[in-house]
Amino acid sequence: MSYDILEGRYLQSMADLYPTIAKASTEIINLQSILNLPKGTEHFLTDIHGEYESFLHVLKNGSGSVRRKIDEEFGNSLSERDKKALATLIYYPREKMDLIRKEEDNLEDWYKITLYRLIQMARRAASKYTRSKVRKALPKDFAYVIEELITEKSEVNDKEAYYNEIIYTIVRIKRAEEFIVALSQLIQRLVVDHLHIVGDIFDRGPGPHIIMDTLMRYHSVDVQWGNHDVVWMGAASGHLACIANVIRLSAKYGNLDTLEEGYGINLIPLATFALETYGDDPCECFDISYNEKEYNVNDLELDRKMHKAITIIQFKLEGQVIMRNPSFKMEKRLLLDKIDQEKGTVLVEGKEYPLIEKNFPTLDPKDPYRLTEEETEVIKRLQAAFLRSDKLQKHVRFLFSKGSLYKVYNGNLLFHGCIPLNADGSFRKVQVFDKEYSGKSLYDILEVYARKGYYNVHNPEEQQKGQDILWFIWSNENSPVYGKAKMATFERYFLTDHDIKAEEKNHYYRLINREDVVNKILKEFGLDPDHAHIINGHMPVQLKKGETPVRCNGKVLIIDGGFSKAYQSQTGIAGYTLVYNSHGLRLVSHKPFESTEKAIINETDIHSDSVILESVERRELVADTDDGKEMQMRIFELEQLLGAYRTGVIAERT
């Protein structure tokens, strides 16, 4: 089929959408007007690790954007106390109004004053968007009224009386509280145009399921998979070694409730097996890192036994994966067969070490990677529970549909971990089954297999390979989202020698201060090194030790600042948000968040320090973004359609 015929068919299909010169012209004008608006604000968060209260608060306050807009809008006309109260109301409108009702003597006046302030805030937040985009963001129940209130009415002579009458009516018919909620949620939505989650939603903290529910409702989001996300994706696909890892980490951090209550996964088979097998064993090596406020210490003894039971099962299952995949080159991680139970030692990397733990009742020295009948029964029942969990399956399908191993977006390269490099800065060649890959092609092939592992149910052999790749991405030294020489889980449980527990980082983390290396990476992904950035997480930035998130003169931004409480003693802060708006790039560092309850009652916010990384001479417009480039192409196509109408090649449709 010739190009002219294809072009003609494409124009005909466009004519179905824009059947007249008037409609095509109107769309060109609309798109051209959008191109000249300031670009929307992007927020980048990473390594949330289940800390849902901190995450939700940062989302509600727009990483401090709401408070900044309050200061800009009201300046000195509001006291500091009133500004804090207004900010808290915007973050938690329903909860705050429950308190206001008990404290406020004249509710009607409070409603009126508050509505005026919220309308001013909504106008400011909406000012950089088209009316059409704002309209789509409006809550359905109040869309018309809110649009009236936040849109300037040049045709109305007495504007004050017009707006007053609307507000008085809202209060009189007792819809003020619902209206306040609607305005607050609109402001929250407008301060963040698009959200990037640069990996690791799961593990350590208690609420990854709550975070996932929030992301599924969010208006515009993408996810770059972290290794902790991938292991949950593997578990949801039914991969036994991934399931064991997920349960072990949940046990280790005192979060088995996440599995049982959050995802409805029945752990009774594991608990029963653990009690029967390790009933007299104190399991001291398998302690629980728990939050005293959220963990029931009465469960401690049982959880330790479950922790040990699933860990031994995990090592056996991982050994099976390694042995059936010689291309993974992970034979050094086969350690169960190196245990001498009589001597109480293990041979690791050619050296013998004494074991802290010597009780292995399910380990057969002749066939150490074989599960016992009881272990097989337990893991099969757990597999069925993971596959039947509707909520888990919905969450993982969302990760596959909205996520990827990397993303190129508005001139930035986003990924969770690293690009595997050799010591000289060249891309490391990694064998994936029968072929070698490096750089971008390594990311691409791993993602192809990851999707096969979940979706390719009609080809069990290919699905098994894909599921094994999900485990590879989780833990292999050549995985771009793991990027350490080994995952020393065995050593951390059973050995005291600190040197053998060390997990050496990939050369990427040493070489990202070299501009030639960073430029090569950016070019590999089709980006302009003079203007692009690498944005990634995975490695907590230890500010206490003088580390910085900004590398290579601002070209590389590592934004893992310790959202997870487990890392905050290392980082000295409680997470970063990178904000990219029409004025440039700003890095926001957050102090620890106490609780939602205290934020509401005491009107405390997360204290955030903001540093401008880059500012632009000319404010960036929608035309400068990826969406803007698509709009410009659409305008070109519409102009071709106009030409076809005007020359009679295509007839208008009335």
Domain ranges for the chain, please list them: 3-36+636-646, 61-191, 208-489
pLDDT at 347: 95
Angle between helices 240-252 and 373-388 (to 10 degrees): 90
Q: What is the mean pLDDT of the chain?
A: 90
- pLDDT score of 157 more than 60: no
Report the C-alpha gap between 383 and 234 in whole angstroms. Answer: 11
Do residues 303 and 247 touch, judged by C-beta distance below 8 A? Answer: no
Instruction: Among 151-165, 436-450, 582-596, name the one with the lowest average pLDDT.
Output: 151-165
- The helix or strand, by DSSP H or E, that contains position 536, with its residue range, turns out to be strand 533-536
Mean pLDDT across 427-432: 96
Contacts of 404 (CB under 8 A, 6+ apart): 222, 223, 224, 225, 447
- pLDDT score of 615 more than 90: no
Report the C-alpha gap between 198 and 47 in whole angstroms. Answer: 7
Name the maximum alpha-carbon separation found in the chain.
94
pLDDT at 155: 57
Residue 257 identity (one-letter amino acid): D
Residue 316 identity (one-letter amino acid): K
Angle between helices 390-402 and 373-388 (to 10 degrees): 70
What percent of the chain stands above pLDDT 90?
Answer: 65
Mean pLDDT across 539-551: 77
Distances (CA, A) of 518 to 78, 123, 225, 440, 532: 47, 41, 21, 14, 10
Q: pTM of the entire structure?
A: 0.92
pLDDT at 163: 79
Q: Which residue has the higher pLDDT, 343 or 296?
A: 343
Report the C-alpha gap between 583 and 134 in whole angstroms. Answer: 21
With vertex at residue 485, the alpha carbon angle to CA 480 and CA 491, rounded to the nearest 5 degrees, is 130
- pLDDT score of 595 more than 80: no
CA 182 and chain centroid, separation:
26
Q: pLDDT digits over 189-228, tens only? A: 999 999 999 999 999 889 999 999 999 999 999 999 999 9
Q: pLDDT digits over 235-269, tens only? A: 999 999 999 999 999 999 999 999 999 999 999 99
